[in-house]
C-alpha cells in the first residue's frame, strides 16, 4: 500500500492526477498482487520456503530500483504519447508498477507455506497471514498518507521500501554472498538516485535513477498534495512559471505584477475595472492560490481591500513566497483549508452574527485533469450566492473546448439554477476546436456586456458567448446539472484530456527539435518541428518560423522565405499573435539574402511598425527594442536603430553579449561610426560597475579594432 500511494504521486509528474491515473494505479497494483499470489503459491510448492523467501525479498528490492528507472524513462517515450489518453495512462502505469506488484504478491503464499510447514493449524495460519497482511496494508496506508509522503517525498519512500526489503533478504539468508553483493550495488544506486553530491547526481541522471536536471527549475518541492516547481523562462525580463504536477498554473513577469500573462486573469481584471473604481475598497475571495498572481494584482490596484486566498496546500503558498514574488508581509490573507469547508464556516458565522459579504469571488481551482467536483455543484453555488454582496460577482475558470463543451455546458446549466444572470467569457481569437479557458460568471444584476466587450476586446480578445452559443452548449451537455450526488466532471472532460495528450506530444517534438538543431542535425530537427505542427495545429506558426530560421542557417533562403510566409498567411489568428513582428523581421532577412531587396524592405517596415506597437503597451520590453533596432537596420535607418540599441543597454547593462552583438551587426554593415559610438556607450555603462571591470579590456581592444577599420575606410575615401 505504501508503494501504491507513492505510485500515484510518482506518475503525477508525467500524467497529472485524475480519475484515470488512480483507476490505473489501483487496477494495475491489484492485478500484479493477484498474479503474484498465483505465482507465489506455485513457487512455495516447489522450493524450500525460507530460502526462496530471501530470494523474493532481494528481487523485490531490485523491482523498486526498476520502478524508479522505468518511471523516468516512460515519461520520455514518445510512442506512449501517441496512444489514446486512457490507454497511455494505463500503459505507463502497467510498465512501471506491474513488476514490483507481482513480485511483492508472491511473498504472502510463501510465508503461509512456511508457517504451515511448522505444523500450525491450517485455517488459523492462513487466516493470520491474511489478517496480518491486511493490518500491514492499513498501517502502511496511514503512515504513507499522513507522514511518509509529506516528510520524505515519493522517491525517498521507494528507496526506503527497497532498503527494508533488501534487509529482510539478508536477514533470512545472512551468509549468502550474492545478497551482500546486491546490497552494495543497491546502496550505490540509492546514493546515485537520492544524494546531492555532484558525482552521484551525474551518474544517477545518466542511469535514469533520477530525473534529468532541468536548468530552468529554480525551486521545487513535494507537498502532501502535489509536486511543485518554479521555472525561470528568461532572465530579461525575469519571466517564471508555476507548475503543479505537470500543469503550468501561473505565469509572471517578476517585479511587474500588472503585466498579467494569462487570458483568464485579464478577464478577471477587466470585469473588476468595469464594476468598481480604482482605489475603491473591495472584498475579494480567490479559491485556489496557484502563484498568487491575481491576488497580488488586486493588492496593487485596489490597496486597502480585503483579499482572501483559500488554498488547501500550504506548500503552494510557501513556493509563491520563496520563488514567485509573494511578499511575506503581504496584506493577502491565506486560509489553508478546503474552499467548501471555509464557505460552510462563513455561513455558520452568518447565522450566528455578521460576516463579510464579498464583492468578487474567483474560482481558480479547476484544470482539465483534476476537477474538485465539490466546488462546481449547485449546492456549492447556492452557498456562494449567500456570501456575495447584492452586486457581487462570482467567476469560475474552467478548461474545455467549444466543440466538445460537455463540461462547460453542465457548468452553465448549474450556474443558471442559482444565479439570475449567467455569462460565459472566452478568448474569441481561439478556434472552437481548440482547448480554451472559459470564465463562467454568475451575478444577481445584469452586466452591460456590449460596453465591456467594446472596451476590452481589441486589447485582450475578450468575447462573450451569445445566447445561441450558450444554448448549443446546454444541448451538448444534455441539460445535466452538477450536484453533490452526481457530478461526473472528469468523464465530461475526457475528450479535452485526450486532446491535451496530443498537445503534450507536440511539445515533446518541439523540445526534441530544439535539441537536434543545437547538435547540428538540422534536417532531423525540421522533421521534428513538422511532427509538432501535425500533433497540434496551433503550433504551426511557431514551427514554421523555427524551420525558416534553420533554413537561413543552412543558406537555403528560398525555402526559408516559403516557411516564413506559411507562418504569416496560413493562420487566421496571426494578427493577434505577439510573435508576428519577429516573423516579419525573419522574412525580411531571408528575402534580403535571396536578393529580393524591395520585398525585404516592405516586411522590415511592417516589422518595425509592429515592434513600435508593442512598445506602446510595454515601453521597457527589451525584446521589442531589440527587434525594432534590427528592423531599422534592415531599412538603413541607423540613427533610430542606434537609439533602440542604446535603450537596450540602458535597460539591461549587464547583458554584454547582447549589447556587443549589436555592435557586430553594425560592423558587418561597415557602419563603423555607429559601431564605435554604441561600443563607447556599452563601455561607459560598465565603467560604473567595479564587478564588471574585467570586461573592459576586451571591449577596449574591440574598440581599437573598430577605429582601425574606420580609419582604413576613411583613408580609402
Query: Which of 275-279, 512-516, 575-579 is predicted least confidently?
Result: 575-579
| Helices 2-15 + 122-143 axis angle, to 10 | 40
**Number of Cβ atoms within 10 Å of the Cβ of 708:** 11
As a whole number of angstroms, the distance between CA 529 and CA 541 comes to: 11
Span 399-426, mean pLDDT? 91
Look at residue 369 in the predicted model and tell me its pLDDT. 64
pLDDT tens-digit series, residues 606-657:
999 989 888 887 788 888 888 888 888 888 887 788 788 778 877 776 666 6
CA distance 397 to 439: 5
Q: What is the CA radius of gyration of the chain?
A: 30
Q: Are 179 and 38 in contact (CB under 8 A)?
A: no
How many CA atoms lie within 13 Å of 603's alpha carbon, on the beta-carbon side? 22
Residue 694 has pLDDT above 70, yes or no: no
> Residue 661 half-sphere exposure, CB side, CA atoms within 13 Å?
9
Beta carbons within 8 Å of 606's beta carbon, 6+ residues apart: 584
The answer to whether the CB of 535 falls within 8 A of the CB of 506 is yes
Which of residues 637 and 686 earns the better pLDDT score? 637
Quick one: pLDDT at residue 429?
A: 64
Give the pLDDT band of residue 691 (cuts 50, 70, 90): very low
Decide which of 289 and 7 is more confident. 289
Q: Please answer whether residues 377 and 487 qualify as being in contact, where contact means their C-beta atoms are separated by less than 8 angstroms.
A: yes
Q: Is the pLDDT of residue 674 over 60?
A: yes
pTM of structure:
0.73
Mean pLDDT of 696-705: 80
For residue 232, is pLDDT > 80? yes
Is the pLDDT at 102 greater than 90? The verdict is yes
**Per-residue buried b or exposed e for 361-396, using 16+ beta carbons within 10 Å of the residue's own CB:** bbbbbbbbbbbbbbbbbbbbbebbbebbeeebbbbb
The C-alpha cell of 456 is what? 476590452
| Beta carbons of 254 and 331 less than 8 angstroms apart | no
Alpha helices (H) in 519-596, listed in sequence order: 522-535, 540-553, 557-569, 580-593
pLDDT above 70 as % of the chain = 92
Helix (H) or strand (E) holding 249: strand 247-253
Return the bridge partners of 464, or none: 425
Average pLDDT in the 477-492 region?
Answer: 87
DSSP string, 586-642: HHHHHHHHTT-HHHHHHHHHHHHHHHHHHHHH-TT-HHHHHHHHHHHHHTT-HHHHH
For 717, the 3-state DSSP assignment is: coil
Neighbouring C-beta atoms of residue 567, cutoff 10 Å: 27
Q: How far apart are CA 152 and CA 524, in angstroms?
A: 42
Helices within 122-252 (DSSP H only): 122-143, 149-152, 154-172, 177-194, 198-206
Cell of 520: 547540428
> If you write DSSP's letter for every residue of 461-485 in order, what string do you get?
-EEE--HHHHHHHHHHTTT----SS
What percentage of the chain carries pLDDT values higher than 90?
Answer: 28
Going by the DSSP 8-state scheme, the letter that residue 536 receives in this structure is: -
Query: 399, 47 in Cβ contact below 8 A?
Result: no
Q: Are 412 and 398 in contact (CB under 8 A)?
A: no
Q: Return the H-helix or E-strand segment holding 227.
A: strand 227-234
Nearest Cα residue to 15 out of 319, 368, 313: 368
pLDDT at position 436, please? 83
What is the model's pLDDT at position 715?
60
- Judged by DSSP in three states, 442 sits in strand
Q: How many CB atoms lie within 10 A of CB 232?
A: 16
Instruction: Please compute, for residue 460, the number of CA atoms within 13 A of its CA located in the half-sphere on the CB side.
Output: 24
Query: Sign of dihedral through CA atoms 271, 274, 276, 280?
Result: positive
End-to-end CA gap in the chain: 85
692 CB-contact burial (10 Å; exposed 0-12 / middle 13-18 / buried 19+): middle
* 534-587 residue pLDDT tens: 888 878 888 999 999 999 999 999 999 999 998 888 666 555 567 888 999 999
How many angstroms separate the CA atoms of 489 and 103, rounded? 36
Phi/psi at 6 (5° precision): -65, -35
What DSSP line would sit under 371-433, residue for residue?
--GGGSSHHHHHHHHHHEEEEEEEEEEEEE-TTT-HHHHHHHHHHHHH-SEEEEEEETTS-TT
Q: What is the mean pLDDT of the chain?
A: 84
The pLDDT value recorded for residue 128 is: 81
Q: pLDDT tens digit string along 315-337?
A: 999 999 999 999 999 999 999 98
Distance, CA of 270 to CA of 273 (rounded, Å) = 5
Q: What CA–CA distances, in Å, run from 267 to 39, 395, 425?
A: 59, 10, 8
Longest distance between any two alpha carbons in the chain, whole Å: 111
Question: Strand pairing partners for 228?
Answer: 221, 244
Bigger pLDDT: 27 vs 678: 27
Please state, in angstroms and rounded to a whole number, the distance separating the CA atoms of residues 382 and 483. 11
Q: What CA–CA distance (Å, rounded) separates 512 from 562?
A: 23
170 vs 662 pLDDT, higher one: 170
- From CA 607, how far away is CA 342, in angstroms rounded? 51
Q: Which domains can be identified in the chain, with CATH numbers?
A: 2-206 (no CATH), 262-492 (3.40.50.150), 496-635 (1.25.40.10), 637-717 (no CATH)
> Mean pLDDT lowest for which of 9-13, 53-57, 455-459?
455-459
Q: Which residue has the cell 493562420?
A: 571
Task: Assign 174 a pLDDT band (cuts: 50, 70, 90).
Answer: low
> Can you give the pLDDT at residue 298?
93
Q: Is there a contact between 526 and 553 (Cβ–Cβ < 8 Å)?
A: no
CB atoms near residue 206 (< 10 Å): 11
Higher pLDDT, residue 598 or 714: 598
Per-residue CA distances from 187 to 56, 163, 327, 530 (Å)? 18, 8, 42, 44
Amino acid at each position: 500500500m505504501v508503494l501504491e500511494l507513492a505510485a500515484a504521486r510518482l506518475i503525477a509528474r508525467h500524467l497529472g492526477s485524475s480519475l484515470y491515473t488512480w483507476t490505473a494505479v489501483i487496477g494495475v497494483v491489484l492485478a500484479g498482487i493477484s498474479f503474484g499470489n498465483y505465482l507465489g503459491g506455485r513457487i512455495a510448492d516447489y522450493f524450500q520456503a525460507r530460502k526462496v523467501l530471501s530470494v523474493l525479498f532481494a528481487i523485490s528490492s531490485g523491482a523498486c530500483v526498476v520502478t524508479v528507472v522505468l518511471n523516468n524513462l516512460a515519461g520520455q517515450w514518445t510512442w506512449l504519447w501517441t496512444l489514446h489518453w486512457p490507454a497511455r495512462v494505463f500503459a505507463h502505469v502497467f510498465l512501471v508498477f506491474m513488476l514490483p506488484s507481482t513480485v511483492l504478491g508472491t511473498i504472502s503464499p510463501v510465508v503461509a507455506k512456511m508457517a504451515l510447514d511448522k505444523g500450525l493449524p491450517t485455517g488459523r495460519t492462513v487466516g493470520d497471514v491474511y489478517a496480518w497482511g491486511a493490518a500491514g496494508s492499513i498501517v502502511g496506508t496511514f503512515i504513507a498518507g499522513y507522514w511518509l509522503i509529506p516528510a520524505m517525498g515519493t522517491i525517498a519512500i521507494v528507496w526506503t521500501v527497497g532498503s527494508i526489503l533488501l534487509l529482510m533478504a539478508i536477514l533470512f539468508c545472512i551468509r549468502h554472498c550474492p545478497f551482500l553483493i546486491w546490497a552494495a550495488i543497491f546502496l550505490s544506486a540509492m546514493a546515485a538516485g537520492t544524494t546531492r553530491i555532484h558525482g552521484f547526481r551525474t551518474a544517477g541522471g545518466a542511469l535514469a535513477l533520477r530525473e534529468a536536471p532541468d536548468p530552468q527549475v529554480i525551486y521545487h518541492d513535494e507537498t502532501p498534495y502535489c509536486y511543485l516547481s518554479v521555472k525561470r523562462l528568461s532572465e530579461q525580463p525575469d519571466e517564471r512559471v508555476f507548475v503543479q504536477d505537470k500543469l503550468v498554473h501561473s505565469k509572471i513577469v517578476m517585479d511587474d505584477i500588472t503585466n498579467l500573462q494569462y487570458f483568464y486573469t485579464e478577464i478577471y481584471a477587466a470585469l473588476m475595472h468595469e464594476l468598481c473604481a480604482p482605489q475603491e475598497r473591495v472584498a475579494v475571495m480567490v479559491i485556489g492560490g496557484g502563484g498568487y498572481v491575481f491576488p497580488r494584482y488586486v493588492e496593487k490596484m485596489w490597496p486597502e481591500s480585503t483579499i482572501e486566498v483559500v488554498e488547501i496546500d500550504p506548500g503552494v503558498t510557501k513556493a509563491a513566497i520563496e520563488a514567485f514574488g509573494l511578499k511575506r508581509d503581504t496584506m493577502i490573507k491565506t486560509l489553508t483549508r478546503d474552499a467548501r469547508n471555509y464557505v460552510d464556516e462563513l455561513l455558520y458565522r452568518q447565522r450566528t452574527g455578521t460576516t463579510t459579504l464579498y464583492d468578487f469571488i474567483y474560482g481558480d481551482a479547476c484544470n482539465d485533469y483534476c476537477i474538485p467536483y465539490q466546488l462546481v455543484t449547485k449546492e456549492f453555488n447556492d452557498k456562494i450566492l449567500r456570501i456575495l454582496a447584492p452586486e457581487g460577482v462570482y467567476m469560475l475558470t474552467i478548461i474545455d473546448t467549444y466543440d466538445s463543451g460537455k463540461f462547460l455546458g453542465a457548468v452553465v446549466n448549474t450556474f443558471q439554477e442559482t444565479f439570475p444572470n449567467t455569462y460565459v467569457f472566452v478568448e474569441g481569437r481561439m478556434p472552437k476546436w481548440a482547448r480554451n479557458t472559459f470564465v463562467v460568471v454568475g451575478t444577481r444584476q445584469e452586466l452591460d456586456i456590449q460596453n465591456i466587450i467594446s472596451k476590452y476586446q481589441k486589447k485582450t480578445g475578450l468575447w462573450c458567448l451569445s445566447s445561441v452559443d450558450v444554448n448549443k452548449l446546454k444541448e451538448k451537455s444534455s441539460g445535466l446539472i452538477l450536484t453533490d450526488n452526481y457530478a461526473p466532471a472528469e468523464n465530461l472532460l475526457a475528450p479535452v484530456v485526450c486532446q491535451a495528450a496530443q498537445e503534450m506530444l507536440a511539445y515533446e517534438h518541439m523540445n526534441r527539435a530544439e535539441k537536434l538543431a543545437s547538435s547540428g542535425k538540422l534536417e532531423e530537427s525540421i522533421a521534428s518541428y513538422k511532427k509538432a505542427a501535425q500533433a497540434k495545429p496551433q503550433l504551426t506558426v511557431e514551427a514554421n518560423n523555427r524551420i525558416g530560421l534553420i533554413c537561413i542557417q543552412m543558406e537555403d533562403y528560398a525555402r526559408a522565405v516559403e516557411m516564413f510566409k506559411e507562418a504569416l498567411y496560413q493562420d487566421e489568428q496571426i494578427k493577434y499573435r505577439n510573435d508576428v513582428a519577429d516573423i516579419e523581421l525573419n522574412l525580411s532577412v531571408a528575402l534580403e539574402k535571396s536578393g529580393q531587396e524591395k520585398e525585404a524592405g516592405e516586411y522590415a517596415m511592417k516589422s518595425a511598425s509592429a515592434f513600435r506597437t508593442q512598445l506602446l503597451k510595454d515601453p521597457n520590453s527589451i525584446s521589442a527594442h531589440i527587434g525594432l533596432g534590427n528592423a531599422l537596420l534592415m531599412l538603413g535607418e541607423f540613427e533610430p536603430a542606434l537609439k533602440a540599441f542604446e535603450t537596450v543597454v540602458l535597460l539591461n547593462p549587464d547583458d554584454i553579449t547582447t549589447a556587443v552583438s549589436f555592435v557586430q551587426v553594425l560592423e558587418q554593415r561597415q557602419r563603423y561610426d555607429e559601431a564605435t559610438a554604441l561600443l563607447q556607450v556599452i563601455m561607459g555603462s560598465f565603467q560604473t560597475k567595479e564587478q564588471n571591470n574585467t570586461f573592459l579590456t576586451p571591449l577596449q581592444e574591440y574598440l581599437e579594432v573598430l577605429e582601425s577599420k574606420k580609419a582604413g575606410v576613411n583613408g580609402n575615401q
